[in-house]
């Protein structure tokens, strides 16, 4: 599809005045092909183009299609399109989106531009603009930013027949109808009932008889990761957000939580390497380098200790130069063990499967796993070392060093993320660099110390 778009761009890429402005047969043919794509696939194709080309294609789409694609774009491309498209045109697209998605788009724009978008939206749809402003008032990455008030709300006195009539009349405007939220006259949440219960009940049955009277709720200030954990833990399709006195403010739906989980996973994956997902998108290369440099310098300082260890045992390496051939292998294997342990713990902290309260249990589990891996890998590498050198003690040194290094890596990989979390740091940012550095220091120290003890057997 990207090749098709590129092929059509010389003809289709003429100046256009607005969304849906297909000005040539080639543009119309390309637009017909684009209409066959899912909005998420089309957004992925636009990301593969140059920014100016993506803008040309975006301007060809009809408003309904453009709104769906805008909701799927990554932040960098969204900002580019917002900066180069008239605010009135973007406002018309925002009016077609659910207001939580519209708020997410507006939040991607610079403050001055977001103000223009909200002003344009207020001129076209004052109620929608007010709702977007309300959502943007909540801190980023909280339930307040994710929620929508387009949910099915009825009173306890309503009957099943009345609820079904309400759903038929309003389903098109609701975010989801899988859960029915029951509130009193002051919109205080009384309970929740499942739409399947409603469908299976007699029309005259009062809704109050179908209620889950103690529904799981979150406050609007709740972090989005905690929202995701609760939705997953209780197997919910929608989670109510309540304010003071239990008043229903809105709901967070499962599709929004999936986006959160993907975003958090990508951030954690990059941070394990000492980076950050947001900085990659929003900052200049100089700013990214400045943010990442302290972690690299900290790792460098710790790795210099490895250099001191090697210098301390330089005479051992000079007498048995073959030892140096195995040092990269020991470092790489143990480093992978540590990063695996760190990744497991970081994700466990995010999802709630790892608790700081029971940190010893997770450390013991990772150490047991690392011990079994270390025994297997140490035996294999030790046998290779013995066969290579022709000396059994050489193999014992190699196998013992790898075993100790892998145990250290497993310990550090599980401890450092939890210690970082306890101290208020981001565990994903600190785990990768420091785990690798510490296991190198200890691994090389054990390796060369054992070699020095058995030196007379190795030469």
Distance CA 119, CA 238 (A): 31
Whether 161 and 132 map to the same domain: the answer is no
CATH number of the domain to which 44 belongs: 1.25.60.10
pLDDT of residue 144: 92
190 and 284 in one domain?
A: no
Confidence at residue 401, expressed as pLDDT on a 0 to 100 scale: 83
266: in domain: no
pTM over 0.85: no
Rounded Cα gap, residues 312 and 227, in angstroms: 52
Is 265 inside a domain boundary? no
Question: What's the pLDDT score for residue 428?
Answer: 61
Asked if residue 426 and residue 312 are part of one domain, the reply reads yes
Q: Does some domain include residue 337?
A: yes
Q: Which residues contact 121 (CB under 8 A, 6 or more apart)?
A: 91, 94, 95, 102, 128, 129, 132
> How many domains does the structure of the chain reveal?
3
Q: What is the mean pLDDT of the chain?
A: 81
Residues 214 and 297 in one domain: no
**Residues near 412 by beta carbon (within 8 Å), at least 6 away in sequence:** 338, 434, 435, 438, 439
The range of the structural domain enclosing residue 227 comes to 146-253
CA dist 77 and 397 (Å) reads 54
Q: Could you tell me if 285 and 344 lie in one domain?
A: yes
| Same domain for 227 and 366 | no
The radius of gyration computed from the CA coordinates of the chain, to the nearest angstrom, equals 29
Give the separation between CA 438 and CA 56, rounded to whole angstroms: 51
Q: Is residue 268 part of a domain?
A: no
Residues 319 and 424 in one domain: yes
Do 169 and 289 have their domain in common?
A: no
Query: Looking at the domain assignment, is residue 413 inside a domain?
Result: yes
Considering the domain boundaries, does residue 261 fall inside one?
no
Residues in Cβ contact with 90 at an 8 Å cutoff, skipping those fewer than 6 apart: 70, 81, 82, 105, 117, 120
Looking at the domain assignment, is residue 272 inside a domain? no
Q: Looking at the structure, tell me whether residues 117 and 15 fall in a common domain.
A: yes
* Shared domain check, 152 and 127: no
Tell me how crowded residue 228 is: count the other CB atoms within 10 A of its CB. Answer: 24
Domain boundary among 219, 253, 287: 253
**CATH for 239:** 3.10.580.10
The span from the CA of 152 to the CA of 169, in Å, is: 11
Q: Which residues in the chain land under pLDDT 70? A: 1-27, 262-284, 288, 291, 350-352, 425-435, 458-459
Q: What is the pairing mode between strands 176-183 and 189-194? A: antiparallel
Per-residue pLDDT of 126-180, as tens digits, reads 988 998 999 999 998 899 998 988 899 999 999 999 999 999 999 888 888 889 9
């Amino acid at each position: 599809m990207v090749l098709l778009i590129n092929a059509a761009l010389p003809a289709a890429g003429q100046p256009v005045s607005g969304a849906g402005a297909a000005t040539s047969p080639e543009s119309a043919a390309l637009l017909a092909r684009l209409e066959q794509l899912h909005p998420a696939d089309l957004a992925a194709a636009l990301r593969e183009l140059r920014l100016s080309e993506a803008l040309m294609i975006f301007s060809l789409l009809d408003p309904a299609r453009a709104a769906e694609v805008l909701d799927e774009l990554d932040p960098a491309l969204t900002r580019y399109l917002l900066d180069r498209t008239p605010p009135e045109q973007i406002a018309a697209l925002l009016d077609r989106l659910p207001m939580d998605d519209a708020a997410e788009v507006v939040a991607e724009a610079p403050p001055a531009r977001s103000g223009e978008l909200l002003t344009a939206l207020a001129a076209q749809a004052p109620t929608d603009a007010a709702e977007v402003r309300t959502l943007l008032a909540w801190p980023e990455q909280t339930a307040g930013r994710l929620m929508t008030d387009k949910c099915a709300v009825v009173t306890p006195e309503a009957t099943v027949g009345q609820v079904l009539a309400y759903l038929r009349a309003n389903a098109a405007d609701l975010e989801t109808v899988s859960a029915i939220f029951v509130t009193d006259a002051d919109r205080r949440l009384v309970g929740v009932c499942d739409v399947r219960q409603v469908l299976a009940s007699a029309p005259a049955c009062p809704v109050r008889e179908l209620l889950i009277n103690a529904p799981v709720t979150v406050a609007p200030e709740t972090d989005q990761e905690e929202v995701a954990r609760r939705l997953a833990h209780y197997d919910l399709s929608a989670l109510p957000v309540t304010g003071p006195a239990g008043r229903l403010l809105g709901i967070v739906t499962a599709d929004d939580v999936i986006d959160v989980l993907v975003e958090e996973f990508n951030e954690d994956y990059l941070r394990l390497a000492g980076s950050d997902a947001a900085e990659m998108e929003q900052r200049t290369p100089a700013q990214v380098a400045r943010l990442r440099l302290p972690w690299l310098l900290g790792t460098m300082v710790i790795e210099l200790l490895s250099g001191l260890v090697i210098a301390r045992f330089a005479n051992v390496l000079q007498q048995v130069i073959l030892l140096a051939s195995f040092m990269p292998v020991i470092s790489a294997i143990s480093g992978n063990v540590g990063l695996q342990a760190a990744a497991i713990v970081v994700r466990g902290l995010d999802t709630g499967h790892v608790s700081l309260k029971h940190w010893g249990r997770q450390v013991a589990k990772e150490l047991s796993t690392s011990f079994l891996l270390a025994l297997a890998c140490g035996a294999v590498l030790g046998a290779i070392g013995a066969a290579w050198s022709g000396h059994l003690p050489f193999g014992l040194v190699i196998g013992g060093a790898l075993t100790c290094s892998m145990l250290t890596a497993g310990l550090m990989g599980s401890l450092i993320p939890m210690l970082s979390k306890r101290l208020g740091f981001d565990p994903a940012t600190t785990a990768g660099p420091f785990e690798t550095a510490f296991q190198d220091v200890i691994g090389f120290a054990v390796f060369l110390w054992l070699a020095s003890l058995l030196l007379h057997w190795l030469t």
